[in-house]
Structure 1
Amino acid sequence: MKIELGTWAVEGNEVDAAGRELAIEARGLVKRFDGFTAVDGVDISVPRGAIYGILGPNGAGKTTTLRMLLGIIDPDEGHRRVLGHDRPTDVARRIGYLPEERGLYPAMKAYEAIAFLAALRGVPLKEGRRRGRELLEENGLGYAADRQIRQLSKGMAQQVQLLGTLVHKPDLVVLDEPFSGLDALNQGKLERLIRQLAADGTTVIFSTHVIAHAERMCNQVAIIAGGKVPFAGPVDVARDRLRPQVRLETRAQDGPWRAALPADARHEGAFWHFTLPESGVEPLLRALIEGDAGILSLSIERAGLHDAFVAIAGEAAARALEANPEEEGRR
């Protein structure tokens, strides 16, 4: 075996340092448009069976990155390997792709639209129609099977297109801003569907500008800002870049125990707030008890993905993330 770009090459496939087989391995991806660098040296490794999020604001390079991974456009620099192949188009029939630009033929019936998308991936039309009706029924849309797309609400049409993305039973599902335009109920349905896909062994990678979706759904994330990826890896590792925060309430207002509080401790209302010391909670508790602080409550809160995003990508990127409009930008 040989090591290459941080992974092991094994019989044409890639595995990461933990020995997990990779569905996607990309290194140094660069893409320029008319002199503008939309993606600048992106590295991504997606284990098979993972739910992987690409998190960043509009214009950060999420869509361009996904299109390079799929072979829709070629990188100007770098390389990618998808499902064990250097040419992603060679395995297009094993991939389901939901683009950010939603679009179905408005005159088609819902089940026919799914069958049409299945046919593009090599499924016979008769089988595609059967699967289309079956998927609609399983997902609570059986009543809409014979309705034309133009007769469906925007959310229902998006669900039909999503089912068309899955109808050929792909090994890899790529979703570009899949939650955009969905109400809370349908977002919940989509989250459950994504979790079920992963439970069945399907690899799911999706882009989003909503931190909550990535935090709830993803095993791993790539944080992208300005075309660069300052972090790619497990969500827990991103959160652990920041030390946990402590909230302390004491009966005593002063005493020798105050010396145990770190320099960043601040008193707000009835509570002290500060970063958990490097030494951990045990020495702190001992000092509080021996100093007669009279502990009324003490809670330790791990940093969330939002705080990690700010620390990794910067406040400007975080503000851009929060200011995103509903629809994703073209780059």
Structure 2
Amino acid sequence: MLEVANLVRRFGEQVAVDDVSFEVPGGALTGFVGGNGAGKTTTMRMIMGVLATHGGEVRWQGRPVTVDDRRSFGYMPEERGLYPKQPVRDQLVYLARLRGVRADDAGRRADELLRRFDLGDRGGDKLESLSLGNQQRVQIAAAVMAEPSLLILDEPFSGLDPGAVDAMAELLRDYARQGVPVLFSSHQLDLVERLCDQLVILASGRVVGRGSVADLRARGTTRYRLALGGDAGWLADFAGVRALEVDGATALLELTGASTDDLLTAALARGSVRELAEVRQSVSDIYREVTA
């Protein structure tokens, strides 16, 4: 279990991270989402000890995190940090050796990960000879070479093609199944919705939403789709209803005072009703609602 408790970080007069608290439980994929400048990268750097905190605490297994703890964490920073002129396999082995992995184990691990990311025949190539997407795959491999106890990944899916996204997603699921806490940031909200067990949403340096997708949906505003036999334009002026979208015979609604029975009674009085259904909010909808 990773715990972030009341973290604060300032840059001059600007408060970049403002009393941020959340947990990343073992065996779960936690999505860390927010707009540019929300504080995600700064928070991750404080978790890893790259930046000092100006308040609050990072805890690992219920106690303050130590330097030794952080040596066992896998970290993929926003700024990629591999060596462009070094052969891919050699530097993966080198990075694992720095983390205490035996040479033969490091070699086997490098070969396994390169095969997993369809780079098995590129291990002897210099990093700079690979496409940007393949360089990203190598960076991900570097983050997990030493079998980390915790994974912190800053935009790991950026620049990946669909095949590499699937391979990366399965890799993260594998670690979660082994009980490893996984925290990753992403602007790809559809991917976050598909993968994550829980979300932490940041805006202007503060947590504005956290929990499972189902929990966040339950706290949000319920919407309904109404499909009629005739024009739905009358809903724009119907008391107790907020019409978000009206397109011919179909409308997307929020109930602000009326009940579904009131709505159905009014609709049937004007003609036929083809559908009245609750619309499940996407992560994008939730994000827009909590950051508005």
Q: Quick check: 2:74–2:152 contact (8 Å CA) kept in 1?
A: yes
Q: Does 1:273 align with 2:242?
A: no
| Equivalenced residues, count | 289
Q: Quick check: 2:16–2:39 contact (8 Å CA) kept in 1?
A: yes
Question: What's the CA shift string for 1:64-121, capped at 9, x where partnerless?
Answer: 1011112222211111102444124221232110111112122322211211121121
User: Unaligned 5+ residue runs, structure 2?
Assistant: none
Q: Quick check: 1:69–1:88 contact (8 Å CA) kept in 2?
A: no
Identical positions, percent: 35
Equivalent position amino acid for 1:111 in 2: R
Q: Does 1:303 align with 2:287?
A: no
Q: Quick check: 2:241–2:256 contact (8 Å CA) kept in 1?
A: no
Question: What's the CA shift string for 1:215-239, capped at 9, x where partnerless?
Answer: 2221111111111112222222222
The alignment partner of 1:195 has SS state of helix
> Greater shift after overlay, 59-68 or 240-249?
240-249
Q: Quick check: 1:260–1:287 contact (8 Å CA) kept in 2?
A: no
Q: Which residue of structure 1 lines up, in the alignment, with residue 143 of structure 2?
A: 165
Q: Does 1:125 align with 2:103?
A: yes
Q: Which residue of structure 2 lines up, in the alignment, with residue 138 of structure 1?
A: 116
Q: Within 2, Cα distance between the matches of 1:236 and 1:141?
A: 37
> Greater shift after overlay, 183-192 or 42-51?
183-192
Question: What's the CA shift string for 1:189-234, capped at 9, x where partnerless?
Answer: 2223222322232221011233223222211111111111122222
Q: Which residue of structure 1 lines up, in the alignment, with residue 208 of structure 2?
A: 230
Q: Which residue of structure 2 lines up, in the alignment, with residue 250 of structure 1?
A: 228
Structure 2 length-normalised TM: 0.87
Q: Within 1, Cα distance between the matches of 2:231 and 2:78?
A: 56
> Greater shift after overlay, 303-312 or 159-168?
303-312
The equivalent position to 1:107 in structure 2, one of 85, 104, 124, is: 85
Q: Within 2, Cα distance between the matches of 1:93 and 1:280?
A: 56
Q: Within 2, Cα distance between the matches of 1:270 and 1:286?
A: 14
Q: Quick check: 2:74–2:143 contact (8 Å CA) kept in 1?
A: yes
Structure 1 residue 48, shift from structure 2 partner:
1.0
Q: Within 1, Cα distance between the matches of 2:210 and 2:154?
A: 18
Matches within 5 A, 1:73-222: 73-222=51-200
The alignment partner of 1:43 has SS state of strand
Q: Within 2, Cα distance between the matches of 1:170 and 1:77?
A: 27
Q: Within 2, Cα distance between the matches of 1:279 and 1:83?
A: 49
Question: What's the CA shift string for 1:105-148, capped at 9, x where partnerless?
Answer: 22322211211121121102232112111221233211112222
Structure 1 residue 284, shift from structure 2 partner:
5.8
Q: Which residue of structure 2 lines up, in the alignment, with residue 320 of structure 1?
A: none
* Pair 177,138 (structure 1): closer, same or farther in 2 beyond 3 Å: closer
Equivalent position amino acid for 1:198 in 2: A
- Give the RMSD, CA atoms, in angstroms: 2.7
User: Unaligned 5+ residue runs, structure 1?
Assistant: 1-22, 315-331
Structure 1 residue 261, shift from structure 2 partner:
7.9
Q: Quick check: 2:10–2:54 contact (8 Å CA) kept in 1?
A: yes
The equivalent position to 2:272 in structure 1, one of 283, 287, 294, is: 294
The alignment partner of 2:185 has SS state of strand
Structure 1 residue 279, shift from structure 2 partner:
8.6
Q: Within 2, Cα distance between the matches of 1:28 and 1:250?
A: 50
Q: Quick check: 1:58–1:209 contact (8 Å CA) kept in 2?
A: no
Structure 1 residue 292, shift from structure 2 partner:
8.0
* Pair 101,260 (structure 1): closer, same or farther in 2 beyond 3 Å: closer
Structure 1 length-normalised TM: 0.78
Equivalent position amino acid for 2:53 in 1: P
* Pair 287,225 (structure 1): closer, same or farther in 2 beyond 3 Å: same
* Pair 85,125 (structure 1): closer, same or farther in 2 beyond 3 Å: farther
Q: Within 2, Cα distance between the matches of 1:170 and 1:279?
A: 53
The equivalent position to 1:64 in structure 2, one of 42, 52, 55, is: 42
